[in-house]
Structure 1
Amino acid sequence: MRVKKIPERMCTGCMEMKPKKELIRIVRNKDGEVSVDLTGKKPGRGAYICKDVECLQKSFKSKKLERNLETTISEEIYNKLREEINNEG
């Protein structure tokens, strides 16, 4: 029996490879709008972050999330992410 490969993505906060299902996706669509993608299926450029407040803060301080999405991210998106992480935990 073949072993199914689990897709992994890198967290922009801690820079660790983790299974895609354990991460939250942030996506920038072709119009430049940034949103939190809970389904993981929205079209556009995506970046991933752990469901951990520390990873979010690291990513925010180093602006890695902004670099990955190639755009500036509003405080509103960071607050929405923080809220989503707190709801998960």
Structure 2
Amino acid sequence: MTLKQRKVPMRKDVLTNEMAPKRLLVRIVKNKEGQVSLDPTGKKPGRGAYVGLNAAAVKQAQQKHSLDKILETKLSDDFYQELYDYVEHQQARFDLFGELGKKH
């Protein structure tokens, strides 16, 4: 008896336009009130955009205000810094734990 392969949900990284497994991306959500926040659970209501665990891409997005255009709102430098710190932390965790860090 063979184990059935589970389908890996894929999402597009809005900064690089590359497809990646959802768990390797960070969801950013804009709610009805226009507030933008990180969504580590992926369950907050609102318009979502996914960003990969690439700190350099986040820094570049901050300089070009790429996410402002994608989410159609003005984002603060504090938000970009929060995103950068989160992405850097998640990348470090992934580098440390690799596939072991994934949820089953």
> How would you bin the TM-score normalised by the shorter chain?
0.7 to 0.9
Identify unmatched segments of 5+ residues in structure 1. none
Amino acid at match of 2:80: Y
Q: Which moved more, 1:29-38 or 1:52-61?
A: 52-61
Structural RMSD (CA): 1.7
Paired with 2:7 and 2:61, the residues of 1 have a C-alpha distance of 28
TM-score normalised to structure 1 length: 0.85
1:87 Cα offset (Å): 1.7
**Counterparts of 1:27 and 1:78, CA distance in 2:** 13
Q: Aligned partner of 1:85: which letter? A: V
2:25 is matched with which residue?
Answer: 23
2:66 paired with 1:59: no
3-state DSSP class of the match of 1:54?
helix
Specify the SS of the correspondent of 1:36.
Answer: strand
Alpha-carbon offset, residue 71 of structure 1 = 1.2
1:80 to 79, 82, 100: 82
Query: Could you say which residue in structure 1 is the equivalent of 2:15?
Result: 13
Specify whether residues 68 and 30 from structure 1 end up closer, same or farther in structure 2 by C-alpha distance, changes over 3 A only.
same
Which is richer in helix?
A: 2
- TM-score normalised by length of structure 2: 0.74
Residue identity in the other structure for 1:49: V
Q: Match of 1:41?
A: 43
Measured after TM superposition, the shift of residue 84 of structure 1 is 0.8
> Displacement of 1:77 after TM fit?
0.9
Listed one character per residue, the Cα deviations across residues 54-85 of structure 1 (whole Å, up to 9, x for unaligned) are 12123334433222212111111101011112
d(CA) in 1 for partners of 2:15, 2:82:
16
Pairs aligned (count): 89
